[in-house]
Amino acid sequence: MREVMKPSLSFILISIVIALGFSACTTGPHKAHNKGVYMLIDTSGTYTKELEKAQQIINYTLAKLNSGDSFVVASIDTGSFSEKDIIAKVTFDDRPSKANQQKRAFQQQVNDYVKSVKSSPYTDITGGLLQAIEYLNERDTRTKTVMIFSDLKQELKKGYVRDIPLALDGFDVVALNVTKLRSDNIDPREYMDRLKLWKNRVEEGAGKWDVINDLERLDKLIKE
Amino acid sequence: MQLPDFMMIFSSSLGLSILLWLVVITVLLYMARRPAHEAILSVSKILFHAFRLLSSSILLAEKKLKQRNREVLLASGKIASEHIVEREFERIDAFVKKDLSKFPTLQREITDSIVKLDEDYQKSTEIPPAPPGWTKAIEPIASIPPSEDSMVAEILKSIKDALEKAQGNALAAYRTSSEKRHAFLKNMVPVLRHINKDLLGLDKNVQTLLERSATIDRHMDDYKQISEKTDRAVQTLSSSSMTQFFIAGFVLAIAVGGAFINFNLISRPMQEMVGGSVYMMGFKVADIAALVIILVEVSMGLFLMESLRITRLFPVIGALEDKVRIRMIIVSFVFLFLLASVEAGLAYMRELLSVDDAALVAGLLGNGAVEAVVGVEESGRWITTAAQMGMGFILPFALTFIAIPLESFIHSSRTVIGVLLAGLLRLSAVFLRFLGNISKYFGKSLVNIYDLFIFLPLWIEGLLLNKKDKTGLVLAVANSESGAVNSAAAPATIKKRTPRKTTASKEKEVTEEIKEVL
């Protein structure tokens, strides 16, 4: 009878060991399921007045991201192809409680930045995009989203070379709050040409292009 | 429309070329008519027989499956019936041991009560003390009328006083005696009540015993029917299995719903333990771990039910020694209790995480929202926390009872699957027969369609044959008239004629076809 008892007990023990094994298993492949979001904020000229809207978008994105996801907020200034322009970056912890703490800290960092931001004389959007591509490729996330919070008018300092093709295969590039400039009001074709130019650049680099000007449509921002 | 070059017989005229090709093809088809007919009919016949053979084989398999289903049903019904009868006998045994074991004591009590009653009765029937005898002797003296003689009057008075005193004493004695007898009779009432109560109890026990006997008789009758393998028993068992299958399926579906709620309770807090971004085979490890915990709980529940001998899914557990079985009950229960406690803890953690999430979202939305959320949470947070913890603790124990419908489901599914398979085989057999008949009549139709293409040469042939027939008939009449009947001279064409089918024969053929299809 003892021999008969053994398999049953061993089955119970094996079941528990499996359950505990699963519980103990804290390492695994991250890259296949996480999301990567890189947000570029235009700080040139009068666009700094729009930064409150950028904060809303950042908060929304923070609420949507989960454990294992990466989020970076960087500024677009005279020369944006630099790690120095990164305002805040985070890869959320596996534990939800820790991830929530990180989100709070991230929000605080952004708030501090917005309070102390100084406007930049030039707008190097391409440099920012190149930096975003480099960062997200390094993180090797499943989805890669670059959000450009700008009027999309690029103004480069003399000597900066930005006529570089963008390798955006697997990237979603979303232009947010593309405001109309005074000159756009005089000739709307300028605005349309600007959008077309960036759309072509992104699509030539095999990326997907989207524009969201209505902040009520943010639900389409983060792909699941 | 254009023909390929090699088909253009007359290069100048397309129509003429087509016409010529049609003539050639018609002639060729007419020449190949008999072998073509034979080929078409033989292929259709082969298909017809092949389908029929397949259908017969499937019907045979269905018959065997039905037989096997019947045997399985009867065997399982027999076992179930044996269990029921066994259980009824156990109940009677327990009842007899518990209630009827007191019968000798009861009998002795009743006998004692009766003896006491008898004694009391005897005592109550004692004759009251007779009045003193001298009273009768002095009665005449006492009845003497009073005279004026004072002496006599005094004597009479004293006699009267003595008499009255004696009467008073006699009455008092009588009353005392009556009181004693009434007291005895009064004492008999509780004894009688006690006897009545005992007898009523006995009657109730006997009635219960009789009812149980009737139940056993009914079950024994069922068992007999099953043992004799009657159709009625099979029908009853089959119907019972179907009912069991659907009821058990329904209860299992409810249990799955419970397990789903349980899963949702613990999957989120599991992320705190195993991480929220760790995946295995495309699934979150936290979800897998939550599922495994629930499955382990269900397993523990199964073992517990098996050890308690409520279910009989694992004969090995049922056959264990009582001592080992009790140990197993304790082990299973302890594991279940620990897992339920873990779940309650996880449910509490879930609540904390939900609160944290809500606070974070509110913080991201704005300060006003934070205050609103905090206000709502403060008032009723403990209710949701307690409810979640309670559910986390209770659901594992509730899931234990899955074992009962699961057992019924597994047992009844054998019958139901068998019946479904038999039905499927039957349907396949009918379909194959249908295909066989279709191929048969398709062949016949093809023959007719073939003849339709060559209707012109056939028509000419018919005309020629008619002419020949008429000539042959004239010759035959002439020969018969001359008396020289020559059988060898009978034209072959007459043999070729086939009698027209009568309506009756056609009906017969159609009936046969319907039978074949069915």
Domain boundaries along the sequence of chain B: 99-227, 242-401
Listed in sequence order, the residues at least 6 apart from B357 whose beta carbon sits closer than 8 Å to its beta carbon are A96, A100
Is pLDDT at B408 greater than 70 in this prediction? yes
d(CA A124, CA A81): 8
CATH number (domain holding residue A103): 3.40.50.410
**Contact: B277, A30; criterion CB under 8 Å:** yes
Does residue A144 have a pLDDT over 90?
A: yes
Residue type, B441: Y
Residue-averaged pLDDT of chain A: 84
User: Is pLDDT above 80 for B476?
Assistant: no
CA distances from B132 to A209, B173, B345 (A): 139, 11, 98
Domain with A62 in it: 35-220
pLDDT per residue over B485-514, tens digit each? 444 444 444 444 444 445 555 556 656 655
Chain B contact for A6, CB < 8 A?
no
Strands (E) in chain A, as ranges, are 35-42, 70-76, 86-91, 143-149, 171-176, 208-212
Contact B357, A100 (CB under 8 A): yes
pLDDT, one tens digit per residue, over B22-31 is 999 999 999 9
User: Given this model, what pLDDT does residue A86 score?
Assistant: 93
Average pLDDT over residues A195-213: 92
Q: Would you call B83 helix, strand, or coil by DSSP?
A: helix
Say how many C-beta atoms besides its own lie within 10 A of residue B17's C-beta: 16
pLDDT for res A185: 82
User: Which of A23-27, B353-357, B465-469 comes out lowest in average pLDDT?
Assistant: A23-27
CA distance to partner chain A, nearest, from residue B346 (Å): 13
Strands (E), B287-372: none
**What's the rounded Cα separation, in Å, for the pair B81 and B64?**
25
User: Using one digit for the tens of pLDDT, what is the confidence trace for B421-432?
Assistant: 999 999 999 999
Q: For chain A, what is the domain count?
A: 1
Q: How far is B77 from chain A (nearest CA, A)?
A: 28
For residue A141, tell me if it sits in a domain.
Answer: yes
Of A80, A83, A99, which is closest to residue A91 (Cα–Cα)? A99
Q: Is residue A104 part of a domain?
A: yes
Q: Environment class of residue B359 by beta-carbon count within 10 Å: exposed (0-12), middle (13-18) or buried (19+)? A: middle
Radius of gyration of chain B (CA): 53
pLDDT score recorded for residue B506: 56
**In this structure, what token pair is assigned to residue B161?**
């006083």
Q: What is the pTM of this model?
A: 0.64
pLDDT band at B131 (very low <50, low <70, confident <90, very high): low
Would you give the end-to-end CA distance of chain A in angstroms? 55
Q: Do A25 and B324 touch (CB under 8 A)?
A: no
pLDDT recorded at residue A22:
53
Cβ distance B274 to A8 less than 8 Å, yes or no, reads no
Q: Which member of A22, A63, A95 has the closest CB to residue B289? A: A22
- The least confident of B302-311, B433-442, B493-502 is B493-502
Report the mean per-residue pLDDT for chain B: 83
**Residue B81: its pLDDT value, please?**
86
User: Per residue in B285-296, is it b (16+ CB within 10 Å) or e — as a string?
Assistant: bbbbbbbbbbeb
Q: Tell me the pLDDT tens digit for each residue of A121-131.
A: 888 999 999 99
Q: What's residue B484's pLDDT? A: 46
Inform me whether the pLDDT recorded for A2 exceeds 50.
Answer: no
Where is average pLDDT lowest: B60-64, B206-210, B368-372? B368-372
Query: pLDDT > 70: what percent of chain B?
Result: 84
Task: Classify residue A19: in a domain, yes or no.
Answer: no
Residue A107 with chain B: CB contacts under 8 Å: 363-364
- Which is more confident, A21 or B113? B113
Q: How many CB atoms lie within 10 A of CB B6?
A: 6
Yes or no: say if B34 and B202 are a contact pair by the CB < 8 Å rule.
Answer: no
pLDDT-derived band at B49 (thresholds 50, 70, 90) equals very high
Q: Which of A117, A218, A110 is nearest to A102 (CA)?
A: A110
Asked, for residue A113, whether it belongs to a domain, the answer is yes
Nearest to B292 among A12, A18, A27 (CB): A18
**Would the CB atoms of B357 and A100 count as touching at under 8 Å?**
yes
| Helix, strand or coil, per DSSP, at residue A29 | coil
CA distance A150 to A48: 10
Asked if A66 and B277 come within 8 Å (Cβ–Cβ), the reply is: yes
pLDDT digits 0-9 by tens, A52-75: 889 989 999 998 898 899 999 999
- For A41, list phi and psi in degrees, rounded to 5: -115, 125
Q: B122-130 — which CB contacts under 8 Å span 24+ positions?
A: B123/B180, B123/B181, B123/B184, B124/B181, B124/B182, B124/B184, B124/B185, B124/B188, B125/B181, B126/B177, B126/B180, B126/B181, B128/B173, B128/B174, B128/B177, B128/B178, B129/B170, B129/B173, B129/B174, B129/B177
* pLDDT tens digit sequence for A180-192: 888 888 888 989 9
CA within 13 Å, CB half, B342: 21
Which tens digit of pLDDT belongs to each residue from B133-155?
666 776 677 676 766 677 777 87
The average pLDDT across B39-57 equals: 95
Please give, rounded to a whole number of angstroms, the shortest distance from the CA of A131 to a CA of chain B. Answer: 26
B465 burial level (CB within 10 Å; 0-12, 13-18, 19+) = middle
Contact B319 A4 (CB under 8 A): yes
Which residue in the set B270, B299, B356 is minimally distant from A100, CB to CB? B356
Q: How many CB atoms lie within 10 A of CB B194?
A: 13
Q: What letters, b where the CB count within 10 A reaches 16 and e where it falls short, cover B449-460?
A: eebeebeebeee
Chain A touched by B277 (CB under 8 Å): yes
Average confidence (pLDDT) over B1-11: 73
Is B353's Cβ below 8 Å from some Cβ in A? yes
Nearest CA in chain A to B281: A29
Residue A26 has pLDDT above 90, yes or no: no
Using the Cβ of B279 and the Cβ atoms of chain A, whether some distance falls under 8 Å is answered with yes
Question: Is A125 among the domain residues?
Answer: yes
Average pLDDT of the residues in B442-455: 93
CB contact at 8 A, A83 and A173: no
Q: Is the pLDDT of residue B170 over 70?
A: yes
- Whether residue A151 contacts residue A175, with contact meaning beta carbons closer than 8 Å, is answered with no
Q: What is the pLDDT of residue B179?
A: 85
Percent of chain A with pLDDT over 90: 44
**pLDDT for res A4:** 39
Instruction: Count CB atoms within 10 A of the CB of residue B360.
Output: 21
Report the chain B residue with the minimal C-alpha distance to residue A28: B278
Q: Once rounded to an integer, what is the mean pLDDT over residues B249-260? A: 93
**Residue A13 binned pLDDT confidence (cut-offs 50, 70, 90):** low
Of A76-90, B18-32, B47-61, which one has max mean pLDDT?
B47-61
In a domain, A27, yes or no: no
pLDDT at B260 over 50: yes
When scoring B348, B364, B367 by the number of chain A Cβ atoms within 10 A, the one with the most, hence best to mutate, is: B364
> What is the pLDDT at residue B492?
43
The residue among A31 and B512 whose pLDDT is bigger is: B512
Closest Cα in chain B, distance from residue A79 (Å): 31
